[in-house]
Amino acid sequence: MIEARSLAKVFGGKTAVDDISFDVQPGKVTGFLGPNGAGKSTTMRMIMGLDYPTAGSVTVNRRLYADHKAPLREVGALLEARAVHPKRTAYNHLRALAASHGIPKERIIEVMELTGLGAAANKRVGGFSMGMGQRLGIAAALLGDPRTLIFDEPVNGLDPEGVQWVRHLARGLAAEGRTVFISSHLMSEMAVTADHLIVIGRGRILADAPMDQVLAGSGRERTLVRADDVDALAAAIGSDGVEIRRPAPGQLEILGMSARGIAEAALSRRILVTELTPRQASLEDAYMELTRGEVEYQSRVIEPTVGEIPSHP
Ligand SMILES: Nc1ncnc2c1ncn2[C@@H]1O[C@H](COP(=O)(O)OP(=O)(O)OP(=O)(O)O)[C@@H](O)[C@H]1O
């Protein structure tokens, strides 16, 4: 169980985490989402006692991290910046961590097998791929068999098998009654991993709700349409509040209009509709709606300029 109360962090004049309160419950996977720079890593670092809050507090299993006598046995974390000695072997890295907590050799071997690092036990960490580094970080987090796990971007650099493995691991840990708190930018993966979501933007909480509720709350109906003349149909239904996407030739994805409304518009213009499939909003859609206006680092779509050839120096 993680409990944050009026937690805040200011770096210089910059507010990274702005007076947030939340609980991360045991027995569930809680996803932690938010745009780049929203404050996810800073929050996770404060939970682990690596950043000191400017105001408020955050406890793990009812105590500040620093107040736990054997923190590795309470909470394990994979955080973005790992302090790993590059010349150490994977086994020795884990052995050094285990030694501080009297964790036996058998447990080191167990977590190496569990994370698929058995064959790399005697390889130097400096030569590890990103995915192997992530697996080692997860092995370190699991070492003390803690009740609470915090994974910051655990699937970063993992291959599809690794991504699936993290999903099963997270779900398995939660099923054992542990508290699992995961940040990720991979919405499709989060949608099938998390039971509950906490979404932040610019250091403030935008949503703290079960997955179903976040999906339902995106509000806009979404329908996939195939029709003989999609251009005429798009022109017929285009209006404020209706978003029209073109996922493939001959198809439209329409947001913000009922399937019946679309069918009526098509009928009135005698456009033949061959498919009309209402779809549940994706987590990506729900997330985009929640975080609209909260994105600190906004990307720009580069539109090709017709009839203008860029000059090269
Ligand atoms: N040590 C630091 N010193 C100064 N500013 C910092 C420091 N750490 C984080 N920040 C700033 O705090 C804000 C929150 O950063 P944080 O890394 O927590 O975001 P995040 O949600 O984890 O982002 P990302 O998804 O990109 O990892 C950012 O504006 C960042 O630049």
Ordered per-residue pLDDT tens for the chain, 313 residues: 999 999 999 999 999 999 999 999 999 999 999 999 999 999 999 999 999 999 999 999 999 999 999 899 999 999 975 667 888 899 999 999 999 889 999 999 999 999 999 888 889 988 888 889 999 999 999 999 999 999 999 998 899 999 999 999 999 999 999 999 999 999 989 999 999 999 999 999 999 999 988 887 766 788 999 999 999 999 999 777 898 999 899 999 998 898 999 999 999 999 999 999 988 778 988 898 888 877 766 666 554 444 444 444 4
Query: How far apart, in whole angstroms, are the C-alpha atoms of residue 310 and residue 217?
Result: 44
For residue 93, the model assigns a pLDDT of: 92
Token pair for 299: 């990307």
Residue 42 Cα: closest atom of ligand 1: 18
Nearest CA to ligand 1 atom 24: 36
CA of 254 to the centre of ligand 1 (A): 36
Nearest CA to ligand 1 atom 9: 42
Query: How far apart, in whole angstroms, are the C-alpha atoms of residue 27 and residue 29?
Result: 7
Cα 193 to the center of its chain, rounded Å: 9
For residue 218, the model assigns a pLDDT of: 65
CA of 39 to the centre of ligand 1 (A): 6
Give the binding-site residues of ligand 1, using a 6 Å CB cut-off: 11, 14, 16, 34, 36-42
For residue 199, the model assigns a pLDDT of: 95
Query: How far apart, in whole angstroms, are the C-alpha atoms of residue 308 and residue 94?
Result: 59
Contact status, residue 131 vs residue 139, Cβ threshold 8 Å: no
For residue 301, the model assigns a pLDDT of: 56
CA of 142 to the centre of ligand 1 (A): 26
Query: How far apart, in whole angstroms, are the C-alpha atoms of residue 115 and residue 45?
Result: 23
Nearest CA to ligand 1 atom 26: 36
pTM, rounded to two decimals:
0.83
ipTM above 0.95, yes or no: yes
Query: How far apart, in whole angstroms, are the C-alpha atoms of residue 210 and residue 248?
Result: 32
Which spans in the chain are helix H? 40-47, 71-74, 90-99, 105-114, 130-142, 160-175, 187-193, 211-216, 230-237, 259-268, 283-291
DSSP-derived letter for residue 39 is S
* 41, 50, 153, 294, best to mutate for ligand 1 pocket (most atoms within 8 Å of CB): 41
DSSP-derived letter for residue 70 is S
DSSP H/E element including 15: strand 14-24
